[in-house]
Amino acid sequence: METPIQSDAAPNTASRNTLLIAVIIGVAVIAAGAAILLANNAATVSTSSYEGIPLSRLSDGGFVMGNPDAPVTIVEFADYACSHCIDYLQTVERFVDDYVKTGKARFEYRTFPTAGGELTYFMGRIAVCLNDQRDGAFWEAKDRFYQMAAIGRYDGNSGRAVAQELGLDYNQALACAQSQTQVDTDIALGQQEGVSGTPAVLIRANDGDLGWIEIGGQKWDRGGVPYEVLIAVVEAYS
């Protein structure tokens, strides 16, 4: 049964105080919940250690990590601001730990702006320019952009903050970014392969062309590919 609305009677002082306390408590609960959510998101994003992992670039500038002689490369097209990409990071990090660091496979990262739009287009260029100052900075910057996105702090100031954290020259990176075209190359490659969203995970056998992962009669041409499928792909080329 619905309670009739008492529109012609103002609440007394005690009622107003009770209402105010309830509102304050409600706001506090919401704020606490948001803080927990942000903390949980941040916990899913870690800065990986790339010490001892061979880092290289392809002829078109694409960033690759792992043993140059590994028979297969897993290629991810992603956006720092993409929530699905952030969720998929744990799978990527597990794959890197188990198969890239052990020399069995390589991992290639391509910046493909979706959720982040122009911001990711710009930050992707900044990451490349930071790498021009120090090899490996691209990968470190990538991780930090994801961390910022996970806690709601991925914005126009992110490039400067990351450059400072890495001890690199932001003004130099900013000047470099004006003419840097690697992100355009990544976008064009993704579009050529039919990438329409992020994350998108493809495969490169040896140093050959890209292709979608197909295994067990299923083509994985949308979203993150499960860890078990990545394992099966690597084992198929071992």
Q: Where are the domains of the chain?
A: 44-237
182 or 7, which is more confident? Answer: 182
DSSP string, 3-69: PPP-TT----HHHHHHHHHHHHHHHHHHHHHHHHHHHHHHHT------TT--EEE-TT--EEEE-TT
Q: How confident is the model at residue 7 (pLDDT cuts 50, 70, 90)?
A: very low
Q: What is the CATH number of domain 44-237?
A: 3.40.30.10
CA distance 125 to 129: 6
* Residue 153 DSSP SS3: coil
Residue 22, pLDDT score: 39
Q: What is the pTM of this model?
A: 0.81
What percent of the chain lies above the pLDDT cut of 70? 79
Smallest CA-to-CA distance from 142 within 46, 66, 74 is with 46
Burial of 118 (0-12, 13-18, 19+ CB in 10 A): exposed
